[in-house]
């Protein structure tokens, strides 16, 4: 038992079923959260809907590195092409981060040294821990997703779970991807993210890639993907077909949520990817606006720009949200 939460997976402990985990997750979602991190349940068209916050994490890079001195007035945000006033703005590398570590434990991860490289990646991320940071560990195999450690600041519990990882069974990658949005509300922090570690193989999912892509659009946190030997989504064979069939989904998952996709195959690439992820999280701006206007509850497209001379700058941010329209600007 960790922090009073049953269902920890470690050496010799019994894994919980996905249905039991889902019940436990519901309890987490009912826990008190800061008003700024809440988002209202889905609603049909009605005259008034509950007002809630939409948070948009943004990372800004230039060829020389991360841009860390931007102010609220430097940003502009549009929803479905219309400018929205920012109601909140957070920045600074001292803000705590809530991070979900999601590990593929399918049998293919046990081939070669991929599971060892996974542990190295997680150790590298934990080494960047700062006071106030919180961690959760989840894993998936054989069509099921497990919460091994719920959000905690207890690094010993996190490391124990990681050391207990064992590869087995088939991979249901698409099913696991569709689960990711459900974790967004289980953290109180404005700065939060998930890291998915997988070899990209899928041989057991009950949903197709298109359905998984639709689920990804509902994610409310950046997802960073470490893909072991998953390759680039842009490589084509002589006939113009994709060489790496799973790279598209992984890259899309990262880009739509404001994260990044890292195809890795050796220790140096893993270390470089983890350093990049840590920097992105520490130098993350969080823009917030209020939603709850009259209209249909649907998916809304988000665009963020920086009102500066930003030649060669790259912005990473979530591409949309599911819910009511933004409130009208005063």
Full DSSP string of 106-150: SGGGGSTTHHHHHHHHHHHHHTT--TT-EEEEEEEETTEEEEEEE
Residue 72 domain-assigned (yes or no) = yes
Q: How far apart are CA 274 and CA 251, in angstroms?
A: 17
Number of domains in the chain: 2
Give the rounded percent of residues in the chain with a pLDDT score beyond 70.
75
Give the rounded percent of residues in the chain with a pLDDT score beyond 90.
32
3-class secondary-structure state, position 21: helix
Q: How far apart are CA 91 and CA 202, in angstroms?
A: 38
Q: Please tell me whether the overall predicted TM-score, pTM, comes out greater than 0.85 for this model.
A: no
Give the phi and the psi of residue 81 in degrees, each rounded to 5: 85, -5
- Same-domain status, 72 and 171: no
* Band of residue 227 on the pLDDT scale cut at 50, 70, 90: very high
**H or E stretch at 17:** none
Q: What is the CA radius of gyration of the chain?
A: 19
Domain residue limits at 238? 94-282
Residue 177 domain-assigned (yes or no) = yes
- Same-domain status, 227 and 109: yes
CATH number at residue 156: 3.40.50.410
Among the listed ranges 66-75, 105-114, 174-183, which one has the minimum average pLDDT value? 174-183
Which pLDDT tens digit goes with each residue over 3-56? 333 344 443 333 444 333 333 333 333 233 333 333 333 333 333 445 578 889
- Same-domain status, 201 and 291: no
Q: Which residue has the tokens 């916050």?
A: 53
- Same-domain status, 241 and 190: yes
* Under 8 Å between Cβ of 165 and 8: no
Q: How far apart are CA 91 and CA 198, in angstroms?
A: 31
- Same-domain status, 215 and 313: no
Q: What is the pLDDT of residue 35?
A: 32
Q: What is the pLDDT of residue 303?
A: 96
- Same-domain status, 231 and 317: no
Mean pLDDT, all residues of the chain: 77
Compare 242 and 193 and report the one with higher pLDDT.
193
Residue 28 domain-assigned (yes or no) = no
- Give the burial class of 288: count Cβ atoms within 10 A of its Cβ; 0-12 exposed, 13-18 middle, 19 or more buried: middle
Q: What is the pLDDT of residue 92?
A: 65
Q: What is the pLDDT of residue 219?
A: 59
Q: What is the pLDDT of residue 301?
A: 93
């Amino acid at each position: 038992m960790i922090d009073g939460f049953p269902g920890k997976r470690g050496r010799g402990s019994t894994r919980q079923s996905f249905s039991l985990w889902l019940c436990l997750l519901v309890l987490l979602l009912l826990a008190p959260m800061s008003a700024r991190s809440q988002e209202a349940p889905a609603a049909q068209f009605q005259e008034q809907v509950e007002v809630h916050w939409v948070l948009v994490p943004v990372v800004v890079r230039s060829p020389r590195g991360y841009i860390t001195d931007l102010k609220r007035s430097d940003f502009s945000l549009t929803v479905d092409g219309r400018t929205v006033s920012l109601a909140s703005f957070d920045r600074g590398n001292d803000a705590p981060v809530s991070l979900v570590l999601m590990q593929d434990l399918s049998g293919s991860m046990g081939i070669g040294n991929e599971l060892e490289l996974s542990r190295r990646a997680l150790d590298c991320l934990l080494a960047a821990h700062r006071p106030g940071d919180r961690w959760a560990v989840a894993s998936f195999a054989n069509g099921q997703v497990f919460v091994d450690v719920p959000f905690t600041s207890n690094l010993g519990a996190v490391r124990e779970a990681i050391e207990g990882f064992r590869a087995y069974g088939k991979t249901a990658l698409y099913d696991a991807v569709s689960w990711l949005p459900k974790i967004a509300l289980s953290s109180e922090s404005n700065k939060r993210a998930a890291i998915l570690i997988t070899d990209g193989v899928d041989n057991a999912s009950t949903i197709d890639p298109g359905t998984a892509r639709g689920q990804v659009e509902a994610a409310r946190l950046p997802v960073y993907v470490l893909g072991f030997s998953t390759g680039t989504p842009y490589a084509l064979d002589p006939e113009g077909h994709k060489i790496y069939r799973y790279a598209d989904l992984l890259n899309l998952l990262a880009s739509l949520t404001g994260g990044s996709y890292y195809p890795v195959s050796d220790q140096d690439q893993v270390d470089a990817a983890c350093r990049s992820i840590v920097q992105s999280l520490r130098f993350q701006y969080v823009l917030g606006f209020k939603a709850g206007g009259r209209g249909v509850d649907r998916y809304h497209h988000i665009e963020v720009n920086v009102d500066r001379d930003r030649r060669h700058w790259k912005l990473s941010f979530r591409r949309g949200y599911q819910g009511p329209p933004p409130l009208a600007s005063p």
